[in-house]
Amino acid sequence: MMGGFHWARVWHFAVMCGLVLFVVGHLIMVILHGWNNFVSMLTGWKKNPEYLP
């Protein structure tokens, strides 16, 4: 199906490298833009200390 054992390993390695780069890239974006932005994306709201009573 994928050209044999060797090519299956090559495809698996290539896809895993792509997945790792995707995750690392997104982690870098979270670090650069701040943890609060990430939490607000997950929860749907953001605490703004300026407006707390």
User: If we measure between CA atoms, which residue out of 47, 25, 26 comes closest to residue 36?
Assistant: 47
Task: Indicate if the pLDDT at residue 46 is higher than 90.
Answer: no
Task: Report pLDDT digits (tens) over 9-36.
Answer: 999 999 999 999 999 999 999 889 888 8
Report yes or no on whether pTM surpasses 0.75: no
**Residue 3: what pLDDT?**
79
Indicate if the pLDDT at residue 37 is higher than 80: yes
| pLDDT in the model for residue 52 | 58
Return d(Cα 13, Cα 37) in angstroms, integer. Answer: 32
pLDDT for res 7:
92
Q: Cα(13)–Cα(31) distance, rounded to whole angstroms?
A: 27
